Copies of this chain bind each other. A is one copy, B any other.
Amino acid sequence: MLITDISTTECREILARNGFGRLGCARHNQPYVVPFYFAYQPDHLYGYSTPGRKIEWMRENPKVCVEVDEVSSHFVWISVILEGRFQELTDTPEFARERANAQMLLEKRMLWWQIASATGELQNLGEEAKPIFYRIQIDSITGHRALPDVIDTQYSRFIELEE
């Protein structure tokens, strides 16, 4: 298997076309990893969530890591890893513009009625159940691509026969 670095430009293309990955946060050095959907716009990922452990932890410690991959097989995969900072887009004048931007991007990307219900009907719910819009400021990004080499190709025939 040959593993090579991929360019930042390609990393960004992968973020833009996927919109699904794993978000890692940490508290007292205990990591926590969850699957999540996002919308990408240069330098930021936008997401929303109902309140819970992930949000509590990121409010306390905004350092996050996001991993996004496209795995075709053991030999053929791409993985992008970014480090960034959680920023909550509170329902206040300060964040009105970015919150509207987040909502617009997420509506394009995701299931629009989920966002609609999150911003509309659910306004009647108590604070503890209201969805949270947030963005992740991307600080650094790296990516790797694996491709099979000659040995893998030889052996993969046997693997296919065995499976």
Contact = CB atoms under 8 A, between A and B. Distances in A.
A124 interface: no
Contacts of A32: 24, 31, 65, 81, 83
B69 A35 contact: yes
Contacts of A49: none
A24 B65 CA distance: 9
Main secondary structure of the interface of A (DSSP, over half): strand
Contact size range, A: 35 or more
A160 to B, nearest CB: 12
Interface string A1-37: 0000000000000000000101111111111111101
Interface string A61-96: 101111101010010010101010000000000000
A34 B67 contact: yes
Nearest to A20: B71
Contacts of A159: 111
Interface string A30-71: 111111010000000000000000000000010111110101
Most buried by B among A28, A64, A65, A155: A65
Given A20-B71, A31-B63, 11 more contacts: A24-B24, A24-B31, A24-B32, A24-B33, A26-B31, A30-B63, A31-B64, A32-B65, A33-B33, A33-B81, A35-B77
